[in-house]
Amino acid sequence: MSPRPVPRSRATLRTVAAAVLAATSLALTACGAVTSGTTAGSEQDSSLVIGISRKLTSIDPAEGGSIDGDATLARAIYSGLTYYDPELQLRGELAESWTQDDDTHWTFVLREGVTWSDGSPFTAEQVVRNFERFLDPESTLGNAAAIRAIISGVTAPDDGTVVIETNGPFIDLPDRLAHFFLVNPDFLQAHPDELVALGTGPYVLESVDLENGAVLTRNPSYFGEAPEWERVEYRVLETEAARVQAAQAEEIDVAIQYEPASLELFADSDVYATGNQWSSWNNTLRINENVAPLDDARVRQALNYAIDKQALIRDVVGADVEPLAGQVLSDPYDRVNPDLEAYPYDPERARQLLAEAGHADGITIELGLSTGSYVAQDPVSQAIARQLGEVGITVEITNQSFPNWVERTRSADDAPALYYIGYTSGYRAPAERLRIYTSGNGQSHYSPPDAVYDDLVTRVTAATTPEQQQDLVNQATAHYREQAHAVFLWPQPLTYVVRKDLEWTPRPEHWLVPQEFRSRS
C-alpha cells in the first residue's frame, strides 16, 4: 500500500475569512478544540482522521447511540447479519443468505470462517446470546423494547444457522437487522462496564475517551476486504467553531454537520471539497405533553402553524430541502404518505387555536438544544423563538452537551417542553422508522399515551404485503399529523468537508465509517 499523500499547501485556508477566525477564537478556547497531534494525512503512516459532532456515550452497540457518534464507531468495530452498502442496497454481512420460512420464521445462514478480532471463532450460539440480551424482560438496554416488539425468540439449530421467530409477520426483518451489531458475549461478560470492545468488523478499538474520541487500528482477522487505513482517529468536534478550526488547520480528513455558511470558507480550497445534500435525518421539535398546556392538541397544532418553515429553510438553513409534509418520514429514503401536506404558515390560525385552548394571553415554554448536534440548530432555534413570540408563545432556549441532553430528554420528570431532534437509522423499515415515535419510546412523552398510533404501528409491523403496509403507514402518519405530537420541520441537510484526495460516497444516514474511504493515489 502506498503511503498517504502529503497534504497540499495550507496557504489558502490560512487567508480565508480572517474575521470569522477572530470571531470564533474565544469559542475555540472554551470548547477545547483539538489543536495538536498527528497531522491528518501525514506520510508517517496510513491514517485517517474523522471528525464527529457528538461526544460518545457508550461503545456497547446494544445501548443504541447516534450515527453521528457511537453508532458510526460501532460500525467500524462490529458487524451485523446484514448491512446497507453506500448505494443503499441491502447486503449480507455475517449472514451469507436468508430465507423467510413462513410468516414468523426466518433462517439465516452464517458466513463461514469468521473470527473475532482476537482470532476466536464466531458462532451461531453467540448470535443467539446477543438477541437474548434484548429479549430478557428485565433488560434495560436502549433498544430492548423495539427488539422485543418484533422478535419473540432466536435459536441455533447448528453452528452455521440461526432461526429468528417474530411475534407476527414482519416482512422487513433483514432490513431491520442492518443496524443490529453483534458483540462477543463472553468478552462482554468478562469486561462489564469497561471501555473495551471485541468485534468482527474491519477495525479494532485501541483506545477511547468518551469526551474526545477514539483510536482504531486495522483488524488483521477481518473476514472481508482489508480496509486501506492502518490507523483511524475519531475526534469529537462538538461545536461549529471546533469543526471549522479543525479543517482550517488541516487536522482532519473529513467531518460533517457544518453550517451551510461555513462551507463558503472552503469554496476555493486546494485541500478540501465541500458538499450539501439530502439526508435521511428528519428534524422535528418533539413535544413533552406532560408539560401543560402541551397536552392539548390545539396548542400543539398552534406551534406548527406559527412557524414559517419555508422562510427558515431559505434564510437560515440554506439548503435545498422542503418542509416535512406533516409526517416524520421524507423522500427519497422513506415510504411516505403521499396525501399529507406540511402545516402551512398561518400565525392567525395559531392565535385562534391558543385562544380556543384558553391561552389567549400566551404561554412560556422551554426549548432544549444539544450542543452542535444539528445543522443550523442555534440560529434556527432563535428564529423559531421569534416567530412563536409573535403569536404569544415565549420560548426559553437551553443548551446542553449531547450526553446530558439525551439523558434529560428521556426523563419522564425533567424533559424540556420542546426539544430539537433529528432521527435517522441504519435501516429503512417503515414500522421501525415510525416506532421511534410510539408511546413506549424513551423520548416520547405523551399525555395520555397515544393508543391509536401505537396500534397502527403494530399493524404496520405485522403487514404481510407492501401494499397493506403502505396503507397502514398512511393511516398512522395521518393520525400523528392530526394529533401534532411534534413540530414537523424538515430533512436535515448532510453538509461536509472532505479532502480532495479521498474517494467517498456520502451516506444519507450520516455514517462516517473508515472502510468506505479510499485514497485517490
Q: What is the arithmetic mean of pLDDT over 401-427?
A: 92
Confidence tier at 143 by pLDDT (50, 70, 90): confident
Domains of the chain, start order: 11-73+201-278+494-519 (3.40.190.10), 79-190 (3.90.76.10), 282-491 (3.10.105.10)
Given a cut of 50, is residue 35 above it in pLDDT? Answer: no
pTM above 0.75, yes or no: yes
Residue that wins the pLDDT comparison between 343 and 5: 343
Q: Of 43-52, 101-110, 199-208, which range is least confident?
A: 43-52
Confidence tier at 30 by pLDDT (50, 70, 90): very low
The residue among 199, 172, 146, 22 whose CA lies nearest residue 90 is 172
pLDDT confidence of residue 193: 81
CB 317 within 8 A of CB 490: yes
Given a cut of 80, is residue 353 above it in pLDDT? Answer: yes
* Residue 350 backbone class (left: φ over 0; alpha: ψ -120 to 50; beta: rest): alpha
Given a cut of 90, is residue 79 above it in pLDDT? Answer: yes
Report d(CA 421, CA 231) in Å as an integer.
Answer: 32
Confidence tier at 167 by pLDDT (50, 70, 90): very high
pLDDT confidence of residue 63: 83
Q: What is the arithmetic mean of pLDDT over 383-390?
A: 98
pLDDT confidence of residue 24: 41
Given a cut of 50, is residue 456 above it in pLDDT? Answer: yes
For Cα atoms 473, 478, 480, give the angle at the middle one, nearest 5 degrees: 95
Question: Could you say which DSSP state residue 179 is in?
Answer: G
Given a cut of 70, is residue 396 above it in pLDDT? Answer: yes
Q: What is the arithmetic mean of pLDDT over 503-509?
A: 94
Dihedral angle sign, alpha carbons of residues 90, 92, 95, 101: positive
Report d(CA 233, CA 252) in Å as an integer.
Answer: 9
- The grid coordinates of residue 115 equal 473470527
> How many residues in the chain?
521
CB 128 within 8 A of CB 156: yes
pLDDT confidence of residue 42: 45
CB 425 within 8 A of CB 432: yes
Start-to-end C-alpha separation, the chain: 10
Confidence tier at 403 by pLDDT (50, 70, 90): confident
Q: Please write down the HEC assignment for all residues of 13-81.
A: HHHCCHHHHHHHHHHHHHHCCCCCCCCCCCCCCCEEEEEECCCCCCCCHHHCCCCCCHHHHHHHHCEEC
Longest dimension (CA), the chain: 70
The residue among 140, 61, 181 whose CA lies nearest residue 410 is 140
Given a cut of 50, is residue 18 above it in pLDDT? Answer: no
The residue among 299, 284, 442 whose CA lies nearest residue 367 is 284
Q: Please write down the HEC assignment for all residues of 434-503.
A: HHCCCCCCCCCECCCCCHHHHHHHHHHHHCCCHHHHHHHHHHHHHHHHHHCCEEEEEECCEEEEEECCEE
Mean pLDDT value across the chain: 89
Cα distances (angstroms) measured from residue 493 to each of 282, 291, 312, 362, 376: 9, 30, 13, 33, 10
- The grid coordinates of residue 475 equal 393511516
Query: What percentage of the chain reaches a pLDDT higher than 70?
Result: 91
Given a cut of 80, is residue 33 above it in pLDDT? Answer: no
Q: Of 238-242, 271-275, 367-371, 422-426, which range is least confident?
A: 422-426
**What 3-state DSSP class applies to 353?**
helix
Given a cut of 70, is residue 26 above it in pLDDT? Answer: no
Dihedral angle sign, alpha carbons of residues 8, 9, 12, 15: positive
